[in-house]
Amino acid sequence: MNKNSRLFTLAAIALALISAVGCSKLRARDQLNKGVEAYKNTHYEEAIDHFRQAVELDPTLLNGRMYLATAYAQQYIPGADTPDNNRNAELAIEQYQKVLDANPSREQKVNAAKGIAYLYLNMKKFDLSKKYYRMASDVDPNDPEPYYSVGVIDWTACYQPRMEERAKLGLKPEENLNPKNKDQKKACEELEQKNMPIIQEGIDSLNKAIQLRPDYDDAMAYLNLMYREKADVECDNLDQRAEDLKTADNWVDKTLATKKAKAEKQPAQGAAGGDQAK
């Protein structure tokens, strides 16, 4: 084979490869569109099949991976600890992670990180959940939701062991741990050492969420709860305990006032929209 023939053959092979790649990408887009249509119609199994084919045809199609992850996550039922259900969460996390490992857009990175964090939260893998919420915050520091979620996780991590200790001691809901009681003092000191750093992180995170969204009433409600956690483990400082409870009550008032303001604002907005439509 002469030189010109070899060049022609190589060019033909290259053209065929380019054509095949282009064809695969077109087929991947077609599968993606079919998947979106199935997802909109709540045919999640069918959607998963189309999205899976899309990413197999074009592994660089990050939108396809995001949709596939979202479809798997839609099949996951929080709180149902079964192998099949957990498998849906794991498959969703796997696809979100592949998005993060690629070269995603800023929006894709934030949504993938929050998607993983949410799944780990519902799987009660709190440290992993906080890791990915923090990743989302690093990418978009002006989004209040990851800060709020970290605060919720911190409250959950403190509340559960504290309530277990209170149950062991036979305390009533309205009773605080009493530092004058030997057993309660010991439990309080152990909880203080374990929980106080988490409590402070939660308070800081929730305050940050409210700083970014001043009418974030859910964050206000959890600040109330966090200060009650803090109050109960103030073992040797009863004045600080009283101050914490006062702060908690203030956040209850702010939560109610904010909810009321939102409720009053909504009908006014609806009326304005109605007048405009006329």
Residue 6 confidence class, pLDDT cut points 50, 70, 90: low
Helices and strands in the chain: count of H runs, count of E runs: 10, 0
Clarify whether residues 84 and 180 are in a common domain.
no
21 within a domain of the structure (yes/no): no
Residue 173 confidence class, pLDDT cut points 50, 70, 90: confident
Clarify whether residues 134 and 173 are in a common domain.
no
pLDDT-wise least confident of 22-26, 133-137, 196-200? 22-26
Clarify whether residues 123 and 158 are in a common domain.
no
Of residues 59, 57, 60, 55, the one with CA closest to residue 71 = 55
31 within a domain of the structure (yes/no): no
Residue 265 confidence class, pLDDT cut points 50, 70, 90: confident
The last residue of one of the domains, among 141, 156, 183, is 141
Clarify whether residues 47 and 119 are in a common domain.
yes
Of residues 173, 175, 199, 193, the one with CA closest to residue 235 = 193
CA dist., res. 26 & res. 168, Å (int): 63
CA dist., res. 154 & res. 201, Å (int): 7
pLDDT in tens, 72-109: 999 999 988 899 999 999 999 999 999 999 989 999 99
Range of the domain at 161: 142-262
Give percent of the chain above pLDDT 90: 68
Clarify whether residues 133 and 56 are in a common domain.
yes
Q: Do residues 71 and 51 make contact, with C-beta atoms less than 8 angstroms apart?
A: yes
18 within a domain of the structure (yes/no): no
CA dist., res. 267 & res. 89, Å (int): 39
Clarify whether residues 162 and 128 are in a common domain.
no
- 233's enclosing H/E stretch is none
Name the residue type at position 9.
T
Clarify whether residues 209 and 257 are in a common domain.
yes
Clarify whether residues 164 and 72 are in a common domain.
no
Task: Check whether 172 has a pLDDT greater than 70.
Answer: yes
Main-chain phi, psi angles of 178, to 5 degrees: -100, 115
Clarify whether residues 164 and 105 are in a common domain.
no
- The whole-number pLDDT of residue 269 equals 52
Give percent of the chain above pLDDT 70: 88
Clarify whether residues 176 and 137 are in a common domain.
no
Task: Check whether 212 has a pLDDT greater than 60.
Answer: yes
Q: Which two three-digit tokens encode residue 134? A: 């923090």
Task: Check whether 254 has a pLDDT greater than 90.
Answer: yes
Q: Do residues 222 and 159 make contact, with C-beta atoms less than 8 angstroms apart?
A: no
- Tell me the CATH number at 80: 1.25.40.10
pLDDT in tens, 224-233: 999 999 999 9
Of residues 264, 234, 260, 262, the one with CA closest to residue 246 = 234
232 within a domain of the structure (yes/no): yes
Of residues 185, 127, 178, the one with CA closest to residue 156 = 127
**Number of domains into which the chain is organized:** 2
Clarify whether residues 151 and 126 are in a common domain.
no
The last residue of one of the domains, among 141, 158, 191, is 141
- The whole-number pLDDT of residue 5 equals 52
Task: Check whether 38 has a pLDDT greater than 70.
Answer: yes
Clarify whether residues 71 and 124 are in a common domain.
yes
Greater confidence (25 vs 127) lies with 127
